[in-house]
Structure 1
C-alpha cells in the first residue's frame, strides 16, 4: 500500500498553498464580515486553471481526478477559509464539473465544461425540500412533459449559490411514485438555466439569514413551470438516482477535505496561541490540560485525512466509495468541530472577540456535522451497509 500522494497531487497541494498564501485569515474574515464571495481569489483560481482540475483536457481542464480536487479544497480551507471554503469547490467544480464530466452528453460538456474550468460559468445544486431533507425519496418537486420540454414546478430549500449560478442541477420527479416501478425510479436531474428562468418569471429565490458560512447565500427556491428542454436532462430521464449518487458521494468527499483543512487551520491557530500565551510564568501549551486535547485533535485530523483521500481515490478508480465517503464525512466533520472548539477553549475569553478568527471558525465548523448529511443518517448508513444491521429508514 502506498500512502504517498502522486506527483500531480503534490504539485496541486504546493501550488494551491502558494496561491492561497496571498489570501490569509484577514482576507477571509473581511469576506465573512461583509457577507461577500471571495471574488479576488475566485478570479485567480479560474485564471490559473485551479477550478478545472477534474475537467477533461479537451474541455480546457487539467484532466485530473477527484483526489486532486480534494487536495486543492483541503489547502484552500487550511489557508484561512475554514469550513466555509468548501463552497468554492462544491458549487461549481464539484456539482458542475465532476457531474457533467461523468454524466453529461457531448453537447452538454461542450457547452458548459470550458466555462466551468475557467470559472466564468457557475453552477449550484438543488435537492433539499422543506418536507424532504435527508430523505430524498420524499421530494415532491416535479417536471411534466410538454412537447419537447419539461415544465418544472415545486420548491427547494437551503440552496446555496443561486445568486451567482448560471445553471442549477435540480433533482425532481418526472414520473409519479405510483407509476415509477421502484423506490428510486422516476427521478431525473435537470439542468436549469437560472438567468433565463428568472427573466421569464418562473424561478424565484429568497435568501435565508444564516449564523455562519456568510461568504455565500443560501436560499429558498420556487419553480413555477420553469421550461427545461428535454436535452438538458443529465443521464436518462427517470433514472436520476444513478446521477444523484455521483453527486452526493463527491459532495461528501469534498466536504470532508474542506473539514480536514478547517481542522488544520484551527489547530494551527490554537497551537500558536498556546506557545505564545504566558500564564503563571510559562506558556499555557506546557500544561497537559491544554496540550493533550490539541494532540487528540491532531490524531483525529490525520485519520480523517486518510479516509477522505481513500474515498476520493476509490471514486476516481470507479470503485464503490459510498461507505468510505460517509465515514470520511463523519470523521472529518467531527475533527473540524473539535478543532474549532478546542481553539475556542485555548483562547479563553478572547475567543469571543471578532478581533481573532476563532469565533468565525467555530460557528462555521458546527454546520458540517449536519450537512451535506446529518451525522445520525451517516451512522445509520454505516450500521446497515458496514455492519449489516437492520434498516431504520
Structure 2
C-alpha cells in the first residue's frame, strides 16, 4: 500500500502553489469585498495548464485525473483562496470532467480546447427552489421539438453563471410521476448544454444574483429558463438516460468540495499558528499555552485524516471503482474540520479576528457554507447510516 502521491500530483501541487503564492490573503479579501471574480488568478492558473488538467491531451489539456484535480483545488484553498474552490468545481469539475467522460466527439472538439486555455467557463444548473438535495424532485422540463429540446423551469443557487459560457442543465424529460408509474424513479433525466450568452441574448434565460454571506468572488443566482432551445446534439449522454451521468457529476463535486475543505482548514490553521507564535501576552507567545496549542494540534490531526479520505475517494474515482461512500465521508469530515479550524482561528486571534486586518473573518464565512453544500451533512449521515451501516431509511 503506497501513500506517496504520484509524480503527476506532486507536479500539480508545486505548480499551483507557485501560482497561488502570487495571490495573498489581501488579494482574495479584496476580491471578496468587491464581489469580483478573481480573473488574474484564473488567467495565471490557465496559462500554467492548471485549469485544463482533466481535459484530454488531444484537446489541449493535461490528461490528468480526479486526484490531480483534487490536489490543485486543495492547494489553491490552502494558499488563502478558499472561495477559489469554485474555480475548480465549476469548470474543470462540472465542465471538463463531465465532457471528457460522457461528451460526444463533437462536444469535446468544440468546447474542451477553450476550457484548457481558460477561455471557456461552466456552470451547473441542478438545484431548484423545491428540489434541493432531492434531485429526483426537479421540475425543470425538456421536450423534444424536432432537432431541438425546449427547456422550461427555474433553478436556484447556480454559481458562476455571470462568467459561464455553458451551463449543464439537468432536466426532466419524463415527469417524476410517470417515471414512478413505470417503476423507474431515475428514468427521464436529460442533461443538456445551454449556451448561456446566446440564451441570454435571445431573452429565454435570465438570472438574478442572490445576496449572500460569503464566497462573493463567484455569484450564486436564481435562474429562469423560458423556452430555451437547445440542439439535440447538445445533450450529454442520452435523452431520458442522464441519471448515471448526473451521478458522475455529483461524486466529483463532493471530492472537490472535500479537497477545498482540507485546504481551507490548512489556511485557517496557518493563520492561527502564525499569530500564536508572534502574539505575546504575560511575557510569552500565546502559542505556548496549551489552551491555544492543543485545539490547533487536534484540528491539524483531523485535517490529515480528511486529506487521506479525500485522496482515497479521488483515487477510486480514477480507477473507475465505486466511490460514493468515500466521497461522502471525505466531504463530511473535510467540511467539518474546515469550519472548526476557522472557528478556532477566530478564537485564537480573539478580538482581532473580527477585524478585516486579518483574513480570519473571510475564512470563517467561506468555511461555514461547506457544511451545507454540495450536500447537507445530515443527508450524508443518513447515507452512511443506511448504505454503510444498513439501518432503516428515515426519509
**TM-score, structure 1 as length reference:** 0.99
After superposition, residues 54-203 of structure 1 pair within 5 angstroms as: 54-82=54-82, 84-180=83-179, 181=182, 182-203=184-205
In the other structure, the counterpart of 2:218 is 216
Alpha-carbon distance between aligned partners in 2 of 1:71 and 1:279, rounded to the nearest angstrom: 38
CA drift at 1:18: 1.1
Give SS of 2:158's match: strand
In the other structure, the counterpart of 2:323 is 321
CA drift at 1:385: 1.1
Alpha-carbon distance between aligned partners in 1 of 2:306 and 2:170, rounded to the nearest angstrom: 30
In the other structure, the counterpart of 1:347 is 349
Alpha-carbon distance between aligned partners in 2 of 1:91 and 1:7, rounded to the nearest angstrom: 25
CA drift at 1:326: 0.2
In the other structure, the counterpart of 1:365 is 367
Please point out which of 236, 249, 257 is paired with 2:259: 257
In the other structure, the counterpart of 1:52 is 52
Alpha-carbon distance between aligned partners in 2 of 1:12 and 1:196, rounded to the nearest angstrom: 35
Give SS of 2:67's match: helix
Give SS of 1:224's match: strand
Alpha-carbon distance between aligned partners in 2 of 1:222 and 1:299, rounded to the nearest angstrom: 44
After superposition, residues 256-295 of structure 1 pair within 5 angstroms as: 256-295=258-297
Alpha-carbon distance between aligned partners in 1 of 2:351 and 2:144, rounded to the nearest angstrom: 59
Give SS of 2:80's match: helix
Give SS of 2:49's match: coil
2:310 corresponds to 1:308: yes
In the other structure, the counterpart of 1:11 is 11
Alpha-carbon distance between aligned partners in 1 of 2:203 and 2:195, rounded to the nearest angstrom: 12
In the other structure, the counterpart of 2:335 is 333
CA drift at 1:308: 0.4
The answer to whether the Cα contact below 8 Å between 2:257 and 2:331 also exists between their aligned partners in 1 is yes
The answer to whether the Cα contact below 8 Å between 2:207 and 2:223 also exists between their aligned partners in 1 is yes
Alpha-carbon distance between aligned partners in 2 of 1:179 and 1:30, rounded to the nearest angstrom: 50
The answer to whether the Cα contact below 8 Å between 2:137 and 2:176 also exists between their aligned partners in 1 is no
Give SS of 1:338's match: helix
Alpha-carbon distance between aligned partners in 2 of 1:95 and 1:152, rounded to the nearest angstrom: 20
Q: State the Cα deviation string for residues 153-202 of structure 1 (Å, max 9, x = none).
A: 00000000111001000111001223333111101111001011111110
Please give the root-mean-square deviation of Cα atoms over the aligned residues, in Å.
0.7
- Unaligned segments of structure 2, at least 5 residues: none
The answer to whether the Cα contact below 8 Å between 2:261 and 2:370 also exists between their aligned partners in 1 is yes
Q: State the Cα deviation string for residues 272-321 of structure 1 (Å, max 9, x = none).
A: 11111111111111111111110111011000000000000000000000
Give SS of 1:191's match: strand
In the other structure, the counterpart of 2:34 is 34
Q: State the Cα deviation string for residues 238-282 of structure 1 (Å, max 9, x = none).
A: 111101111000000001101101100100110011111111111
Alpha-carbon distance between aligned partners in 2 of 1:176 and 1:64, rounded to the nearest angstrom: 37
Q: State the Cα deviation string for residues 73-131 of structure 1 (Å, max 9, x = none).
A: 1110111112x121110110100000000010111111111101111011100110010
In the other structure, the counterpart of 1:383 is 385
Alpha-carbon distance between aligned partners in 1 of 2:18 and 2:339, rounded to the nearest angstrom: 26
Alpha-carbon distance between aligned partners in 1 of 2:245 and 2:70, rounded to the nearest angstrom: 20
Alpha-carbon distance between aligned partners in 2 of 1:224 and 1:19, rounded to the nearest angstrom: 41
